[in-house]
Amino acid sequence: MRTRMKEFKVFSWLISLVGLYFIFGIVQQFFFQSVFTHSLYGILGSRLPVVVISGIFFASFHWGRDVRFGWMTLVAGSVMAYLFLTSPNVILLGVSHAILASVYYYLVDERDTLDNRLSLKHA
């Protein structure tokens, strides 16, 4: 957990971040679950290897931040793959992705993620 408080209006920041990550979450879950996990399950036919491989694949897209974040996304990706195989619904997974990402970026991350995502620094 971080020790400094964020220097902006928390409620509006969280609402904006959840809205932004809701869109990212549904797009990511559609790609990772509907395309990758579903296709892999069609090839392998067994849940356990599909869940492990899908978790690794999901984490590989998020690993660049730091090791702790990478391990966290490995677990989250595996859980989301299992949930998708159990009950295929990318909307619920997208919503949970948005909430988890927003809570992480508010409680743990030191940076202003919303400002970073919306800026043209990385364009």
Using one digit for the tens of pLDDT, what is the confidence trace for 9-45? 556 656 666 777 788 888 888 999 999 999 999 999 9
Phi then psi for residue 63, to 5 deg, are: -70, -25
Going by the DSSP 8-state scheme, the letter that residue 32 receives in this structure is: I
- Torsion of the alpha carbons at 89, 38, 34 and 18, rounded to the nearest 10: 60
Q: Is the pLDDT of residue 122 over 50?
A: no
Q: The whole model's pTM is what?
A: 0.73
- Residues 32 and 57: beta-carbon distance below 8 Å: yes
Please tell me what DSSP assigns to residue 30.
I
What is the rounded end-to-end Cα distance, in angstroms, of the chain? Answer: 30
Q: Are 58 and 80 in contact (CB under 8 A)?
A: yes
pLDDT at 121 (0 to 100): 55
CB 84 within 8 A of CB 33: yes
